[in-house]
Amino acid sequence: DAGVIQSPRHEVTEMGQEVTLRCKPISGHNSLFWYRQTMMRGLELLIYFNNNVPIDDSGMPEDRFSAKMPNASFSTLKIQPSEPRDSAVYFCASSLRGTGSSYNEQFFGPGTRLTVL
Amino acid sequence: AQSVAQPEDQVNVAEGNPLTVKCTYSVSGNPYLFWYVQYPNRGLQFLLKYITGDNLVKGSYGFEAEFNKSQTSFHLKKPSALVSDSALYFCAVRDERSSNTGKLIFGQGTTLQVKP
């Protein structure tokens, strides 16, 4: 199993540009999570999907951020326009929704390091 | 309100000595608890989880964690630390409000530094 795949691994862009981050979850997983990690704020949950449907986007910082999951094997996180304060590492994670008392862990991708100049 | 607290920003230990990374939680129902490790420039990796059953949970790389309901704690332990254990460790609890979707609430992380 290749695990969660994220691309690009590094992105450097200029303020005002559009940035698109991509994620391929583990095959068969039905929950997908987007996180942001910075030194100042730690690990923050931005949005998560269950069966391709956005469940909670309350962590999305502002309207410049949007996320989609058109199918079970692909998700994008878009920032438009980007700002220097968006510089962070963005992680995607997936998990298999459990039933009953089972509860399955999240598997994280390697992250995308975004730098906005 | 549900929460997870890791009271130490950093833990320093000598190689070969036992290590403990502390975690306390607050939930209204049964806690589902997790530990993750993050090595530099990597994503988080799952170490172990407590759902039910034995209070001592064994996980990857020789780590274990002890669930203590009366103290609402889930401390991570290892009998003999290795320099390669140096990393950032996160404790997490299931968000009861979205129990069927896999959402977790993460602590702020504890940096473990193991010195040779």
* A100 pLDDT above the threshold of 60: no
Before A8, cis peptide (omega within 30)? yes
Q: What is the mean pLDDT of chain B?
A: 92
d(CA A49, CA A47): 7
Q: What is the pLDDT of residues B56-113, one digit of tens each?
A: 999 999 999 999 999 999 999 999 999 999 999 999 998 766 666 678 889 999 999 9
Q: What is the pLDDT of residues A33-83, one digit of tens each?
A: 999 999 888 899 999 999 999 988 989 988 999 999 999 999 999 999 999
- Position A3 scores a pLDDT of 93
Q: What is the pLDDT of residues A10-33, one digit of tens each?
A: 999 999 999 999 999 999 998 999
Contacts A50 to B, Cβ<8 Å: 100-102
Contacts A101 to B, Cβ<8 Å: 51-52
- Position A90 scores a pLDDT of 98
d(CA A43, CA A108): 12
Tokens of B68: 């203590």
Q: Return the SS3 of B61.
A: helix
- Position B100 scores a pLDDT of 63
Which among B42, B94, B102 has the least Cβ separation from residue A110?
A: B42
Contact check, Cβ <8 Å, B49/A91: no
HSE-up of residue B90 (Cα within 13 Å, Cβ side) = 21
| B10 and A CB contact within 8 Å | no
Band of pLDDT at residue A113, cut at 50, 70 and 90: very high
- Position B97 scores a pLDDT of 66
CA distances from A25 to A93, A108, B13 (A): 7, 9, 36
Element spanning B88, H or E: strand B87-94
* A1 pLDDT above the threshold of 70: no
d(CA A41, CA A89): 12
| DSSP for residue A96 | P
